[in-house]
Amino acid sequence: MKTVIGLDKLRATRLSLDGIIGLVLTMGFLHEGHLSLIQRAKEECNHVIVSIFVNPTQFGVNEDLSKYPRDLERDLSLIEPLGVDLVWNPTPEIMYPTGYQTWVEVEAITRPLEGSMRPTHFKGVTTVVAKLFNAVQPHKAYFGQKDAQQAAVIRQMVRDLNFPVEINVCPTVREADGLAMSSRNKYLEGDNRKAATILFRALSAAKSAYESGERDAEALRVKMKEVLESESRAQMQYVSCADYDTLEELDVVKGKTLLSMAVLLGKTRLIDNFVLG
């Protein structure tokens, strides 16, 4: 496995690889969720490239950029056994050199949910993903269902800008108690870690109601809110029952639907979702 930092080295190594190239984009501090994307890419591609880059432009001014967990050595030791060909670990200066002034923005689909709480987030995400796609030129890219809106926004960007890359969305990997794996779970300690299962429990309650025949979207949102309110440590930011593709809030559930939520536990912000239908 080769690890490179500079763009020239990335390009040269990429050009030496034949066949179907799969890309997994990460911000590092890897866990089983990331590894599942790499394994899927390995199954479907001739070569796998992993990027590790904590992208500053997707963090808001008061967010956790400087505190975001990092451990490159550990990340490389987790990836090595999976048969990854190339790891690209660029610096912020390589991605955003002095004088940088080009941005990619997707419109309506970035505004609700995460966009309503983090207004500059998706502009940073779409810009860095477009840059990574251009630099690596993968045939396939792998994203996690955990970040459902991100996946929907990337699908939209790829359609709108004719990127020649196939987007694959892989299931959310969870801890035994249902908590969706996330690099930010590291911040959860003691009682907050225990309370963090409230997201999974709220989503599960709404899913059972749906499976019992409930199709009123507001009733499903209320169900999720009620469960979240039963955990005094949890501060709800939003709950949503929306169309899977457009992310518009629904009145009546029909077709593929996204149940999603964001919750603060102390200073740690958690998101999670289930897909219905």
Which residues make up the interface to ligand AMP (CB under 6 A)? 25-27, 33-34, 36-37, 143-144, 146-147, 170, 172-173, 180-183
69 or 266, CB closer to ligand AMP? 69
The least distance separating ligand AMP from the CB of residue 190, rounded to whole angstroms, comes to 22
154 or 202, CB closer to ligand AMP? 154
The least distance separating ligand AMP from the CB of residue 250, rounded to whole angstroms, comes to 23
Tokens of residue 173, six digits: 């990997």
143 or 187, CB closer to ligand AMP? 143
The least distance separating ligand AMP from the CB of residue 111, rounded to whole angstroms, comes to 20
The least distance separating ligand AMP from the CB of residue 183, rounded to whole angstroms, comes to 5
182 or 260, CB closer to ligand AMP? 182
User: Which of 270, 243, 221 is CA-nearest to residue 117?
Assistant: 270
Task: Confirm whether 139 is a catalytic residue.
Answer: no
The least distance separating ligand AMP from the CB of residue 29, rounded to whole angstroms, comes to 7
Catalytic residue among 31, 34, 121, 139: 34
149 or 223, CB closer to ligand AMP? 149
| Residues annotated catalytic, as ranges | 34
